[in-house]
Structures are given as structure tokens and as C-alpha cells.
Structure 1
Amino acid sequence: MSTQEGAQEKIGLVLLTGAGLDSRIWSKVVDGLDYPHLMANYPRREDSIESRNKLSLDEYVTHVKRQVDEWGSRRFVIVAHSLGGVIALRLASELNDRLAGYISVAAAVPKNGGSFLSILPFPKRILISTILRIIGTKPPESVIRAGLCSDLSAAQAAEIINGFTPEAVRVYTDRSNVSLPMVPTLYVKLTKDKEFSPSLQNKMISNLSPQWVRSLDTGHLPMLSDPDGLRAILGEFMANVR
């Protein structure tokens, strides 16, 4: 067997971002991990907001699945962050014969038949639904700074705010009928998260029923505020996946 063939046999990582974020946000985490990795992109990032807003959850999943199919690793672990959990669960269902593990990093885990909005407490669900209809999916700068960027440096926060790409409304509202992945699962809880509160994360942990829960003392973007800590958790999980 050649070295290249051996590398293709190695279990890889498919990394999905949260809303509005560039896939390169994972770069500092995967740097130093000795596993193939795919930092997946969401569809039509260069198109106008109006054009992109017509996309469905199905189209997001299809776009990511195409990238996975074109990638070299046959078996992989999905790592999902925030809103990316909704896409990741669908992807896991469609590629379950290749799935070796599943990791949620403060990620959404709707119950079967639910949407991203369904995970929110009722009053906030109604509020966010109204906001999506009126102003779309890009929060004001002050909200991004207080939520996504609560523990980031000024330079990191500016990069997130300036690079934020609004997602399609239907990624938040489309319902999905999928079962939980029947593979080793891990939930990474972020104890200082201002975007996904610890109580909301506890609800997601209950929905996922993971074999393991690990905590990081960070805000919503540990891949920037503590990439070493997140890399160590991913590496530990990967070392035990077969």
C-alpha cells in the first residue's frame, strides 16, 4: 500500500461552522492535528444576500455532501458548531455508512422533526422568528460583538464582524426528520458562551445523549479563543475512534 493510499484510509474530520462564519475559522484548531480534514463551505457565499436567501436547508446539506464526496477520506468524524449542527445531523444521516463519530461544539441538536428555531425557548423563538422576517439573518454589530465575540480580542472581533455572511432564512426554519447518529458522540460545552447559554447547551446535551461531555471555559468561538484546548479535545476523541 502506498503512503497516499494509507492516508486515505485514515479517519478524517469534517468541520462545519456556525452561522455567518468562514470555514477558515477552524484553521488554528486543525493545525497540528494529524488527521485529514475538510473545512466545509456553505453554498453561494459570493452571491448577493437576496439570491442566497432563497436557499433551503436541503441545498446547504447537498452542497456540503458534494464536498465530502469529492474529498479523499472514506470515513470521517463530523464536528459541528452552533447552527452547523442542524446541517450536520442531516449530513450524518445521509452518510451514515461512512460516519465514524460525531462532535457538537455548542451546536444545535433539534429533536426529530424540529428546526433550529425549535430548540429555542418559546418567547425567544417567537422573537427570533419575527426578526428573521423583518431584518434577515445578519444581527447588528453590537449583537455579534456581545454574543459571538464576547471573549475575543478586538482584532478577532473586528474580523468576525467584517466577515459575517448572512445565512438563508430557511436554514433556521426548515424542519428535519433525522435520527441521532449511531456512532460515538461528544458534546463540547462552552461555559462562558453568551450566544448559546449553558442552559440551552444542557438542553442540546439532553437531546443528543452523547457518550461524553467535555467543557471549555470559553465563549461561543473556542476555535479562536482557545484553539489549543479545542484541538486537545478533538485529538483525544479521534484517538479512540475506530
Structure 2
Amino acid sequence: MSIQEGTQEKIGFVFLSGAGLDSRIWSKVVDGLDYPYLMATYPRRQDSMESRKKLSLDDYVTHVKRQVDEWGPRRFVIVAHSLGGVIGLRLASERNDRLAGCISVGAAIPKNGGSFLSVLPFPQRMLISTIMRIIGTKPPESAIRAGLCGDLSAEQTTEIINGFTPEAIRVYTDRIKVSLPTVPTLYVKLTQDKEFSPSLQNKMISNLSPQWVRSLDTGHLPMLSDPDGLRAILEEFMINARS
């Protein structure tokens, strides 16, 4: 768990990473951010995949909630990326009394009662479901390189590939039954995303019905390819949400 020490009366940001990614992926975004922040981790990251494979979505959410509850700022804005969108919706529902806003960054936003897999087009959903049952949740290196790293440097790409941590299958398949948050919401659309196509992101935007939509001309990992642009959007959100 990474926490910025600072003024506790400020509203803070809680960052939720996408599948397989270390929480430190947000480091360049939070560098210079004038708000408290928590880069939340997912459960049992240092354990073997065998010991983690039975984890449920509930286990992920409980692990994140514990970090939020131990953190300083009472009120916070969720910043959720990709798979983190599903976890973020649950966190928003269960800590609604402390929630100040929700920002989805190329994030999966299923309809009420859906799962991460449910947001995918039917053929892709069936294919990925079959692949996960056979070989697990770590994509081949070529898929990580093409889907996640299209606009990253060679060094960044190597770090993503070497650091990719397979998630438990149930975080993709468990369904969530929550209402959409009633706080200010923003969707950050990634126009060059090869993992979540712009058309799929449009579907997520429709599911979320956010107050604002902003675009970044990046691939799936804007926190690495354009951290300054993403940070500016977060700061703009704080100003707009308070006005």
C-alpha cells in the first residue's frame, strides 16, 4: 500500500490498477499531485498463483477497503483503470458515505448484475473465458505487448511484461449488484487503446452515464504514456466537482 502523507482535510484519490499491474504504475501521475493519495494493492500479490487462484471479487474488495479504512483522508475520489472499474464500483457502493467522486480511466463498467467479462462483445467473451480456463489469466507476452504496450517505450514494455501478475479468475467472472454512484463521475476515454477499443469504451460510458467525458490520445496505459495529461484531468475534475 502506497500512501502520501499530507493534509488530511483534503479530499484524496484512491487509485485502482488494471489486471496484472502493480500499484506503482500510478507513480508518475501522483508525482506532483497536490492531493493525498492511496495507490491500493490487490490481495496476496507476493504469493504463488496457486495460492491466489481461489480469491473472489469479494476478497479483492475487502483487501482494498481495509487499506482505505486505514488511510488518513475521510473523503476520497476513486480513480479506476480497466479491471479496476469493477472493483471500484463495489468500493463506491460499500464506502458511499466517504465517496466524493469516481473517475474511470479506460475502465470496465458493467451493468448492474454484470461482471468484467459481461462487458466484452460475445465472441471475445467466449474466447477469453475459454482461454482463462485452459491456461489461466496471464496473457501471452505477444498479447501484453500488443494490447497494453502499443505506445510505450521498450523499457516500459519490458517492465510491464516482466511484472505482470495473473489475477484470480473470479475477479473477472463474479457479478456485481450495485447501483451507479450518485457522486460526480468522469470517464477518461483512451482513443488509441488496443485493449479496450474506443467503441467498447463508448459502451462503458453509456453504462456509467458520467457527468463528464475527457479523451486522451493514448493506448491502454496513459499513466505511463501521458502521466502529465492524466494528472491534469484529475486536477480539473477536483475543480469541476466542487463548483
Q: Which residue of 2 aligns with 1:3?
A: none
Provide the secondary structure at the position in 2 that maps to 1:20. Answer: coil
Read off the aligned partner of 2:160 and give its amino acid letter.
I
Give the distance between the partners of 2:168 and 2:90, measured in 1 at CA.
17
Q: Which residue of 2 aligns with 1:210?
A: 210
* Mapping for residues 152-191 of structure 1, pairs under 5 Å: 152-191=152-191
Give the distance between the partners of 1:184 and 1:195, measured in 2 at CA.
26
Provide the secondary structure at the position in 2 that maps to 1:240. Answer: helix
Taking only the aligned residue pairs, the percentage that are identical comes to: 86
Q: Which residue of 1 aligns with 2:52?
A: 52
Question: Once the 2 structures are TM-superposed, how far is the Cα of residue 25 of structure 1 from its aligned partner?
Answer: 0.4
Give the distance between the partners of 1:164 and 1:109, measured in 2 at CA.
22
1:23-78 Cα deviation digits (max 9, x unpaired):
00001001111000000000000010011111000000000000000000100000
Read off the aligned partner of 1:230 and give its amino acid letter.
L
Give the distance between the partners of 2:208 and 2:114, measured in 1 at CA.
13
Provide the secondary structure at the position in 1 that maps to 2:110. Answer: coil
Q: Which residue of 1 aligns with 2:107?
A: 107
Q: Which residue of 2 aligns with 1:14?
A: 14
Q: Which residue of 2 aligns with 1:30?
A: 30
Read off the aligned partner of 1:99 and give its amino acid letter.
L
How many residues get paired? 237
Provide the secondary structure at the position in 2 that maps to 1:9. Answer: coil
Q: Which residue of 2 aligns with 1:227?
A: 227
Give the distance between the partners of 1:142 and 1:19, measured in 2 at CA.
16
Provide the secondary structure at the position in 1 that maps to 2:85. Answer: helix
Give the distance between the partners of 2:53 and 2:223, measured in 1 at CA.
27
Give the distance between the partners of 1:99 and 1:173, measured in 2 at CA.
26
Provide the secondary structure at the position in 2 that maps to 1:179. Answer: coil
1:137-194 Cα deviation digits (max 9, x unpaired):
0000000000000110000000000000000000000011001000000000000000
* Mapping for residues 191-206 of structure 1, pairs under 5 Å: 191-206=191-206
Q: Which residue of 2 aligns with 1:61?
A: 61
Question: Once the 2 structures are TM-superposed, how far is the Cα of residue 239 of structure 1 from its aligned partner?
Answer: 2.1
CA RMSD of aligned residues (A): 0.8
Give the distance between the partners of 1:97 and 1:240, measured in 2 at CA.
20
Q: Which residue of 2 aligns with 1:134?
A: 134
Read off the aligned partner of 2:169 and give its amino acid letter.
V
Provide the secondary structure at the position in 1 that maps to 2:80. Answer: strand
Question: Once the 2 structures are TM-superposed, how far is the Cα of residue 9 of structure 1 from its aligned partner?
Answer: 1.3
Provide the secondary structure at the position in 2 that maps to 1:194. Answer: coil
Read off the aligned partner of 1:172 and give its amino acid letter.
Y
Question: Once the 2 structures are TM-superposed, how far is the Cα of residue 240 of structure 1 from its aligned partner?
Answer: 2.8
Q: Which residue of 1 aligns with 2:236?
A: 236
Any stretches of 5+ residues in structure 2 without a counterpart? 1-5
Question: Once the 2 structures are TM-superposed, how far is the Cα of residue 199 of structure 1 from its aligned partner?
Answer: 0.5
Question: Once the 2 structures are TM-superposed, how far is the Cα of residue 8 of structure 1 from its aligned partner?
Answer: 1.2
Q: Which residue of 1 aligns with 2:123?
A: 123
Provide the secondary structure at the position in 1 that maps to 2:130. Answer: helix
Task: Give TM-score, length-normalised by structure 2.
Answer: 0.96
Give the distance between the partners of 1:29 and 1:76, measured in 2 at CA.
17
Question: Once the 2 structures are TM-superposed, how far is the Cα of residue 104 of structure 1 from its aligned partner?
Answer: 0.1
Task: Give TM-score, length-normalised by structure 1.
Answer: 0.97
